[in-house]
Amino acid sequence: MRNGLRNGTLAFPLPRCLYRWVTSNVLYDDGKIVLDHEGVTLRRYYFPLGTSKRIWYGQIQQVRTQPMGWLTGKGRGWGSAHPGYWLPLDVSRPRKSTLIVLEVGGHVKPSFSPDDPEEVLQILRQRTDAEGAS
């Protein structure tokens, strides 16, 4: 737990007086992916419970984008057919065309398809020293 966060969600009830401060920390939020001043939260990441995954910007070594086709992620709602990638639950993924892959040093690369990939890439470029943030 860091800064009161556990798996990207608050570990305790948030007092009303702090709600505006915490939500003003958010740079991007499409309901599935949240980027704030400290890192990325992938909602509904872990199967089958649907808990979130938190990735601090300092953990990100490389950011890649790749086009999504029906065999390369577009047809996958949750998880992955490829053992090196894992995608959080996103029922709107079939309508998207860009996959963002984060290299964080493990065997499995967290990958996601934001509603606005250009905005997400811009934030990742500003917040990380990752190679290939394009």
Q: For residue 133, is it within any domain? A: no
Structurally, how many domains does the chain consist of?
Answer: 1
Q: For residue 132, is it within any domain? A: no
pLDDT tens digit sequence for 20-40: 555 568 899 999 999 999 999
Q: For residue 39, is it within any domain? A: yes
Cβ neighbour number for residue 112 with a 10 Å cutoff: 26
Q: Which domain holds residue 20?
A: 5-127
Q: For residue 31, is it within any domain? A: yes
- Model-level pTM greater than 0.85? no
Q: For residue 134, is it within any domain? A: no
Contact 88, 54 (CB under 8 A): no
Q: Which residues fall within 8 angstroms of residue 111, CB to CB, at 6 or more apart?
A: 73, 80, 85, 86, 87, 99, 100, 101, 102
pLDDT tens digit sequence for 103-127: 999 899 999 999 999 999 999 999 9
What is the structure's pLDDT at 3? Answer: 43
